[in-house]
Amino acid sequence: MTTHKGFPENFMWGGAIAANQVEGAWNVDGKGPSVADVASYKPHLSVEDYAGHVGISTRMIEEAMADPSDKDYPKRRGIDFYHRYKEDLALFAEMGFKTLRVSIAWSRIFPTGEEETPNEKGLQFYENLFTEMRRLNIEPIVTLSHYEMPLALSVKYNGWFERKVVHHFVKFSRVCFDRYKNLVKYWLTFNEVDSINRHPFTTAGIIPDRCPEGQEDQVIYQALHHQLVASAMVTKDCREIIPGSRMGCMLTKLTTYPNTCNPADVEITLQRNLNNYFYADVQVFGEYPVLTLRMLEQKGVSIRMEPGDLETLKAHTVDFVSFSYYMSLTESAEAGKERTAGNTIMGVKNPYLPSTDWGWQIDPVGLKISLIELYDRYRKPLIIVENGMGAVDQVAEDGSIHDDYRIKYFRDHFKQMKEAVDAGVDLFGYTSWAPIDLISASTSQMSKRYGFVYVDQDDLGNGTLARSRKDSFYWYKKVIESNGEELE
């Protein structure tokens, strides 16, 4: 028996972006405001705030909506992908992309979320986008909800806490499935659905000062239940409307190690990892884990369920598991340990790992560990839909951008991916975050650059928005051409 070594022949190399971080045009062609459009740029925030604990309030939302400009709200302007998508897709095609993960801005289709008739201009934009991707032989992977629910639903219902939002999301999803059934095969429901515990407003439209005092957990887990039920419902609809389609869930993989072999460190780490898995567990296995139910009971959380909810979760599980991986963390039961930032979370600093400019620790081996853990747990095909490093790039006098640090980051991670595949992990694709510089989700900065393509814009929106190729652009092109063999 011959065992295949290396990435599968049809491996889906590409990149990933989100509508609220690239499109701009926040109030153009009938689009309504989303929760992302009130995210302001605050350069004075601490590392802890940047880790995802930035608050929001009713007053802050009102102030943001009284300001029609994009000066202090960078996600409103993005990088003008709405008007420049053909230019950007051409660059991705030049690199040889097999796939591109994008998201649909819900409020571009239903401005408040409650309209009975969708906004045709919004629908047409995504039809044009997917058609152009198809013309360039780039397979769309489409996220239905990526941190951009209509602001009106957040304000009126405190986001996903209210059951009515399930109906509105299902309606939106059905419209998308019907309109794009000949263009899109791969779908994701919620981006990093687990992040509701870290930034409930961004993920689920929950406004903290609208929660009854002492009932924050109740509101968060009730909203999460509604998202999980909605995810199962639209998975059913997707299969019925688009035969042969594939629906996945999306998890933030927060790989955590014990800081020491002290059993207390091991125990707290075990709990953190179990809590991280629970969200995907529901979508893969179709039921709440027993330990999670006990945890909710101990928190005093009692989830209100409608008849049929548990049956819906069980009947309509996902086809594959997608996840983001940026770094690993360590955890300790000992107070006072030095902590460092990560993907919307803090962890105890690992002395064996280097860090990015934003304090995220770089751990390529952790990606292999994550792949093996996820595949062993779920036995479902996997795809990495976010991975990359934010860095400060310098433009040389001749306009070149020499980003060897980014090349090293990807090279080291790709080697670990290959080892996981060789070990037997069913990994069918990889989309970097992000192939082009964009507005940061957590900090609303532009200077936190991820892309292979440089965008001439600073944190305050100054610049021409011209696109230029970094050294990593040409390197990633070689990787794709060689299907991951060109890693030296």
Catalytic residues: 192, 386
Angle (CA) 420 425 430, round 5°: 75
For 190, 197, 225, the CA distances from 230, given in Å and listed in that order, are 10, 18, 8
d(CA 434, CA 449): 9
What is the Cα 462 distance to its own chain's centre? 26
d(CA 328, CA 347): 9
Looking at the chain, how many residues does it have? 488
Its sign, for the CA torsion 263, 342, 62, 196, is negative
Residue 440 carries which DSSP code? -
Its sign, for the CA torsion 113, 118, 124, 129, is positive
For 58, 107, 158, 195, 198, the CA distances from 209, given in Å and listed in that order, are 7, 23, 10, 19, 16
d(CA 177, CA 185): 10
* β-pair partners for 34: 150
Quick one: tokens of 61?
A: 């939302």
Cis before 25 (ω within 30) = no
